[in-house]
Amino acid sequence: MCVAPCMMNYFPEEVLEHIFNFVSSHKNRNAVSLVCKNWYFVERFSRDKVFIGNCYAISSERLISRFPRLRSLTLKGKPHFADFNLVPNDWGGYVYPWIEAMAKGNVNLEELRLKRMVVSDESLELLARSFANFKSLVLVSCEGFTTDGLAAIASNCRHLRELDLQENEVEDRRGKWLSCFPDSCTSLVSLNFACLKGEVNLAALERLVTRCRNLQSLRVNHAVPLEALQKILINAPQLTDLGTGSFIHDPLSETYIKLKSTFQKCTSVRSLSGFLEVSPSCLPVIYPVCSNLTSLNLSYASGIFNNELIKLMQHCQKLERLWILDTIGDEGLNVVASTCKELQELRVFPSDLYGVGNAAVTEVGLVAISAGCPKLNSILYFCQQMTNAALAIVAKNCPNFIRFRLCTINPVVPDAVTMQPLDEGFGAIVRACKGLKRLSVSGLLTDQVFLYIGMYAEQLEMLSIAFAGDSDKGMLYVLNGCKKLKKLEIRDSPFGNMALLADVGKYETMRSLWMSSCELTLGACRTLAKKMPMLNVEIINEGEQIDGGSDDRQKVEKMYLYRTLAGPRKDAPEFVLTL
């Protein structure tokens, strides 16, 4: 906008609103609302999409009163380390109060996206009943509901476009939730139930797919066999995103031959996932689709080995996103590097969680990818070993990383060649990647790596640390250096009270801080809570009971602090003490 701000104040509000409509990212919208009172009011009444990164940072009442035109809400609940069982059950993150408040407040809710929240069947039922225009439900890593709740959504949401369930823990009640979609439902654009464990009515699924002519994305669960998939694909040639169910069949059978020709007609498919059960001899059937794919997720397919994977990858020249298991090996990654020149995001997951198997991928694979894929900007890499030299080469080849997450199976493994800490390698990454926003470090690391991170990682927003560092200095380097830091999560590292209390004002500029199995004592946490009333400082202690009367010197197992406008939360369980 080259018009001076003062001139814009003479524009009628409708014009301002029209201009703000082009501002979609919530960060920019937040910035717009801070310019002046006038802009705050116009922005406030025109915003329909709200993102809340921590559901306890603000109350639902405040949300509804500030944004009366709310249509789409994104909420995140538990801290990230809850994914790895570090947060006990019943910690919190309940969505029910939000749905209740929005229903009472007559919000015209159309879209709800939840991550790491507890979603009960009651909340799904309330959701389905309360919002006549509800269109889109996306649940990622949530829990607490059953297929009965899904049945309520299917039955009542007449305009449902999207039902997307990703990696949730859902109890299967053997009901017929899929059959609850009425015959009049033709609006579905996206249906993903890959994480469900139970059977679905295949005939109902087929009918549903046939009548939803706008269906773009379909991801089924393992209970949907290949025969059913084949019939579905015949009726939905417009699909762009497909998640397969069970991919096992006798390659000599008639169904398989039909499947082959069906896949040849699937010219619109750009994204493929699923393969929860797969027999390698069936894979060639998808080769015709591979050359159009931009996204491929084979990270659940432990039944495929590297030679089959290699054959498959050779067909995928347009791939931009690849999620795979480490069974692909360094050799397979070499093939990816020479074939997938458009690759932007790579995730290599461990097939063997205990590290007693073969060293499937090493630094060699990572270097190959960095050399072959110039557009690479996001990586999650689980590996058995790493070297500083390799990381330096990777940094040189790929200065465009936005997300760099390395995870060594042994959390304190040193450089495989020199036996030195991996400080220099990660130092090279942060120095070269000026746009780095997210970083996870692992391996043997001293305070030095944090010095580098503090010095160079200027855009860093999220940092994950485990079993690293020598002293409080490490944590201080990060807190002092990373000006844009929003989320810091630390486990099993020797950072203590001095680091915690050095710059208490910093935490109000961040969304949250998690520290578990560090060197914190209750006294320091109390001091912090007292100085910073706008923070909730939660002590999660399951072992020794900690309460108001406990001694200052008591060690704190887990501490989670976050800025909030809502004060201490009222739904905290017994084992959580908010200071």
Residues 6+ apart with CB under 8 A from 565: 57, 58, 59, 62, 534
In the complex with other proteins, the residue whose CB is nearer, 307 or 358, is: 358
Q: How far is the CB of 190 from other proteins (least distance, A)?
A: 20
Q: How far is the CB of 185 from other proteins (least distance, A)?
A: 28
CA atoms within 13 A on the CB side of 408: 24
Report the residue from 444, 465, 513, 539 that binds other proteins according to the rule CB under 8 A: 444
Q: How far is the CB of 62 from other proteins (least distance, A)?
A: 32
Q: How far is the CB of 471 from other proteins (least distance, A)?
A: 9
Is position 34 an interface residue for other proteins (rule: CB under 8 A)? no
Report the residue from 494, 501, 504, 578 that binds other proteins according to the rule CB under 8 A: 494
Place of tokens 């654009």: 189
Rounded CA gap, 186 and 215, in Å? Answer: 9
Is position 248 an interface residue for other proteins (rule: CB under 8 A)? yes
Q: How far is the CB of 244 from other proteins (least distance, A)?
A: 14
In the complex with other proteins, the residue whose CB is nearer, 168 or 334, is: 168
Greatest C-alpha distance within the chain: 74
Report the residue from 519, 524, 537, 561 that binds other proteins according to the rule CB under 8 A: 519
Is position 344 an interface residue for other proteins (rule: CB under 8 A)? no
Rounded CA gap, 375 and 324, in Å? Answer: 18
Of 103-162, binders to other proteins (CB under 8 A) are 141
Strand duo 403-408 + 438-440: pairing: parallel
Is position 523 an interface residue for other proteins (rule: CB under 8 A)? no
CB < 8 Å & 24+ apart, contacts of 238-241: 238/213, 238/214, 238/268, 239/215, 239/266, 239/268, 239/269, 240/216, 240/268, 240/269, 240/270, 240/271, 241/190, 241/216, 241/217, 241/269, 241/270, 241/271, 241/272, 241/273, 241/295
Report the residue from 533, 543, 548, 549 that binds other proteins according to the rule CB under 8 A: 543
Is position 508 an interface residue for other proteins (rule: CB under 8 A)? no
- Tell me the number of residues near other proteins by CB under 8 A: 63
Q: Which tokens hold the place of 6?
A: 């003062």
Is position 249 an interface residue for other proteins (rule: CB under 8 A)? yes
Place of tokens 């018009």: 3
Place of tokens 């994480």: 195
Report the residue from 303, 399, 523, 568 that binds other proteins according to the rule CB under 8 A: 303
Rounded CA gap, 523 and 157, in Å? Answer: 51
Report the residue from 517, 550, 554, 578 that binds other proteins according to the rule CB under 8 A: 517
Of 354-393, binders to other proteins (CB under 8 A) are 354-358, 382, 384
Rounded CA gap, 566 and 68, in Å? Answer: 19
Q: Which tokens hold the place of 453?
A: 């991170």
Stretch of 118-126, 179-187, 332-340, 553-561 lying at the interface with other proteins (CB under 8 A):
553-561
Q: Exposed/middle/buried for 326, CB within 10 Å: 0-12, 13-18, 19+?
A: buried
In the complex with other proteins, the residue whose CB is nearer, 397 or 497, is: 497
Report the residue from 53, 88, 97, 284 that binds other proteins according to the rule CB under 8 A: 88
Report the residue from 25, 28, 65, 89 that binds other proteins according to the rule CB under 8 A: 89
* 160 in Cβ contact with 185 (< 8 Å): yes
DSSP string, 343-368: --EEEEE-S-TTS-S-----HHHHHH
Report the residue from 467, 514, 560, 562 that binds other proteins according to the rule CB under 8 A: 467
Report the residue from 17, 171, 277, 458 that binds other proteins according to the rule CB under 8 A: 277
Report the residue from 172, 331, 470, 571 that binds other proteins according to the rule CB under 8 A: 470
In the complex with other proteins, the residue whose CB is nearer, 80 or 270, is: 80
In the complex with other proteins, the residue whose CB is nearer, 301 or 316, is: 301
Is position 61 an interface residue for other proteins (rule: CB under 8 A)? no
In the complex with other proteins, the residue whose CB is nearer, 201 or 410, is: 410
Is position 353 an interface residue for other proteins (rule: CB under 8 A)? yes
In the complex with other proteins, the residue whose CB is nearer, 90 or 458, is: 90
Question: Any alpha helices (H) in 2-80, and if so which ranges?
Answer: 5-8, 13-20, 26-33, 37-46, 60-66
Alpha-carbon dihedral 282, 283, 285, 291, rounded to 10 degrees: 180
Residues 6+ apart with CB under 8 A from 577: 538, 539, 541, 546, 547, 548
* 422 in Cβ contact with 399 (< 8 Å): no
In the complex with other proteins, the residue whose CB is nearer, 221 or 527, is: 221
For other proteins, the binding residues (CB under 8 A) are: 81, 83-86, 88-90, 141, 167-169, 195, 248-250, 252-253, 276-277, 299-300, 302-303, 349-351, 353-358, 382, 384, 407, 409-414, 419, 440, 444, 464, 466-467, 470, 491-494, 516-519, 541-543, 555, 557-558
